[in-house]
């Protein structure tokens, strides 16, 4: 189904945000607080299948993962189920109303391992209050900025992590889906990435300068050749298609 048809159908879906039981997939019978208009794929359990399948193969009980750009918490919920009660998940979501929905999802599913942090992550030069357009419950730098905007707080992970967790706490993986703000987000976690060398799963968006993106990865100690999350295509690539996710690993040697 193409995006134009999806957007046309979405106009007629209910906008009321409430508790929904997930109907199928890896998270079947769990609950999520969202609306049919904003996130029908989460309620149906049909979205993010390659990502959730990759999580099943790579996320282990007791690990610590960060979900940066958590939206309504669908992938954070999947991570919580895999790390179990002995693990830790930190969900960063800058839109306050959406972060509140993740808190509701945390409560109704009894996810004590989940910490919700209502802010965006960027680089040291982008900290403070920012204003961007919103769509379907998320801050988005890639859409028309003449539409309705929200204010949100930005900090950087290298500064925040010692305050959020014990200095010795390891980070095993980070999922980044930040709607065009990938480069700043990476540059704000250089020390974390070099020290912890977690798995990185990044969705690359339209408008992100690919050369600057690869420079940021290299600065953080990561290879610029990545594995596409979807199965089709080459085993590894440096040609990043917009709105696709890729697995990045630390440089060898």
Q: Hey, where are the domains in the chain? A: 48-248
Other residues' Cβ atoms within 10 Å of the Cβ of residue 110: 10
Q: What is the pLDDT along the chain (253 residues), one digit of tens a residue?
A: 566 777 778 788 999 999 999 999 999 999 999 999 999 999 999 999 999 999 999 999 999 999 999 999 999 999 999 999 999 999 999 999 999 999 999 999 999 999 999 999 999 988 899 999 999 999 999 888 888 899 999 999 999 998 888 655 799 999 999 999 999 999 999 999 999 999 999 999 999 999 999 999 999 999 999 999 986 666 899 999 999 999 999 998 6
CA gap 252, 3 in Å, rounded: 39
Per the CB < 8 A criterion, the answer to whether 242 and 210 are in contact is no
* Class at the top of the CATH hierarchy for domain 48-248: alpha beta
Q: What pLDDT score does 1 carry?
A: 59
Q: What pLDDT score does 108 carry?
A: 98
Please classify residue 232 by burial: count the beta carbons closer than 10 Å to its beta carbon, then call 0-12 exposed, 13-18 middle and 19+ buried: exposed
Q: What pLDDT score does 234 carry?
A: 66
Per the CB < 8 A criterion, the answer to whether 165 and 48 are in contact is no
Q: What pLDDT score does 146 carry?
A: 87
């Amino acid at each position: 189904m193409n995006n134009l048809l999806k957007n046309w159908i979405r106009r007629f879906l209910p906008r009321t945000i409430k508790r929904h039981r997930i109907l199928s997939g890896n998270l079947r019978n769990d609950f999520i607080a969202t609306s049919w208009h904003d996130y029908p794929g989460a309620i149906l359990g049909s979205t993010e299948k390659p990502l959730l399948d990759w999580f099943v193969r790579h996320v282990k009980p007791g690990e610590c993962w960060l979900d940066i750009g958590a939206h309504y918490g669908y992938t954070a919920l999947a991570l919580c189920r895999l790390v179990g009660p002995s693990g830790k998940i930190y969900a960063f979501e800058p839109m306050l109303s959406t972060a509140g929905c993740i808190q509701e999802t945390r409560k109704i599913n009894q996810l004590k391992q989940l910490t919700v942090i209502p802010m965006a992550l960027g680089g040291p030069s982008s900290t403070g209050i920012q204003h961007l357009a919103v769509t379907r419950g998320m801050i988005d730098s890639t859409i028309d900025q003449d539409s309705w905007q929200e204010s949100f707080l930005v900090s950087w992970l290298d500064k925040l992590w010692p305050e959020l967790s014990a200095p010795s706490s390891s980070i095993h993986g980070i999922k980044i889906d930040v709607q065009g703000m990938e480069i700043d987000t990476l540059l704000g976690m250089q020390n974390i990435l070099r020290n912890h060398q977690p798995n990185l799963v990044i969705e690359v968006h339209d408008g992100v300068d690919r050369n600057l993106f690869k420079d940021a990865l290299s600065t953080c100690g990561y290879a610029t050749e990545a594995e596409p999350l979807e199965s089709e295509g080459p085993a590894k690539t440096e040609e990043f298609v917009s709105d696709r996710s890729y697995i990045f690993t630390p440089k060898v040697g």
